[in-house]
Amino acid sequence: MMNHHYLDSNNQPAGPATLDDIRALARDGKIAADPMICAVGGTEWKLLSVATAAPGATGGAKGLTIPFSGTLLADFVGRLVKLAGGILSPGLVEKTLGLARHFGQYAVLLGGALGLLAAIVAAVRYNNFTLFVGGLVFIVALAVAQFVGSRFLGASDVLISTTPSRLSSLAFLECIGVLAVLGAIGSLVGGLFAAIQGGSLASFGLLIPAVLVTIFLAYFGAIALHPHLASVEAGSGSAGEEAIGIIAFCLKAALKMVPLAFALFAVVGAVALLVGMVAPNSQFSYLLSTVLPAIPVPGLSAQGLGGAGVVLAATLLPMIAYFMFLVASLPIELWRAILSLPGKLDLLRMRRADQVA
């Protein structure tokens, strides 16, 4: 059997050795899995797989083979993923989040005006002065909350950019992005089906939570398909660091979507206030009060004006999300410090050994 030279782990010629010995080195990971080889006395270097291929395997009509990987369905899904990634592009995500910051502030102002007007209408309708006082308290609380929320909306982006993380493979996030996009489609279809099946105008109120879930899942999927939006990049690391990277991505993706949640809840709260003022005893108003998250506003929540709590909660959301992210990051940072401890100890031992030498 003819011996061959091969390229070692440093891409330097080594050998000669038999083909079996070269394959054994490749299996053991001592050289490349498919190393370059050259016959003794020869001048042409080829990949081991090419040099040892059967005659006719790479050319000629008689030796032609049709490769089949059995991943036709997977390839089709992959093309759909690329299409979804192109539609939910980083530019679209950043632009809409920027618009959400500004549009949300106007929605809060609209909600404040509707809340005060609804309190006045309810005070006259129910002959209850407490409702008017509750409206004034709501305006004062909303002004303070909007001041706080506007400061933390910008702080979230800075916090995300200053806490980068790494994943050895972005395949996990790609799969999460696919599942999130599919979940968004399912949520929208399910909401439409439930609304149509209800057969009444009030049943279309079920579309509100369905649309909210659809939007959040779509944006989460977009961030997963473009992880650099959450300061996540590919890099080597241990299994523990991989777990940290995945958890950190989920936290940063949620924090990234806070401006979107701020704008959506402010708009929904304003709509709920308008409905509560025009038709406080309607089935639609009751449905809104049961499906929307809200905090109680004294004097208002009991009179079909629970949307005031939704608007107020929307302005407080950026601050709440910011501090929740900080609290959740503490155990992650502790975990990361523990994982890095062995490497630091090894480095310290090497430095001491160099000093002794």
- In tens, the pLDDT along 37-59 reads 888 877 777 777 777 665 544 44
- Tally of domains in the chain: 2
What's the burial of 217, exposed, middle or buried (CB within 10 Å: 0-12/13-18/19+)? buried
Average of per-residue pLDDT across 86-104 = 90
Candidates 335, 84, 336, 109; CA nearest to 223 is 84
pLDDT, residue 281, reads 62
Rg of the chain over all Cα atoms, to the nearest angstrom: 31
Candidates 219, 242, 214; CA nearest to 230 is 219
The distance from CA 299 to its chain's CA centroid, rounded to whole angstroms, is 39
The verdict on 244 and 319 lying in the same domain is yes
Taking the alpha carbons at both ends of the chain, their separation in whole angstroms is 49
**Domain contains 341:** no
- Cα 18–Cα 19–Cα 24 angle in degrees, nearest 5: 100
Q: Is the model's pLDDT at 284 over the cut of 90?
A: no
Residue 73: both structure tokens together: 């369905």
The verdict on 170 and 30 lying in the same domain is no
The verdict on 23 and 134 lying in the same domain is no
What percent of the chain stands above pLDDT 90?
22
Residues counted in the chain: 357
- The answer to which of 56-65, 183-192, 347-356 has the lowest mean pLDDT is 56-65
In terms of DSSP H, where are the helices of the chain?
19-27, 48-51, 72-87, 90-126, 129-161, 171-198, 207-225, 239-256, 258-278, 283-291, 307-356
- Residue 314 sits in which domain range? 80-334
Candidates 229, 226, 248; CA nearest to 166 is 248
Q: What is the DSSP letter of 302?
A: G
The verdict on 105 and 159 lying in the same domain is yes
Query: What are 132-165's pLDDT values in tens digits?
Result: 888 888 899 999 999 998 888 878 888 888 888 8
**Domain contains 276:** yes
pLDDT, residue 160, reads 87
The verdict on 159 and 249 lying in the same domain is yes
The verdict on 40 and 132 lying in the same domain is no
pLDDT, residue 65, reads 44
**Domain contains 344:** no
pLDDT, residue 237, reads 66
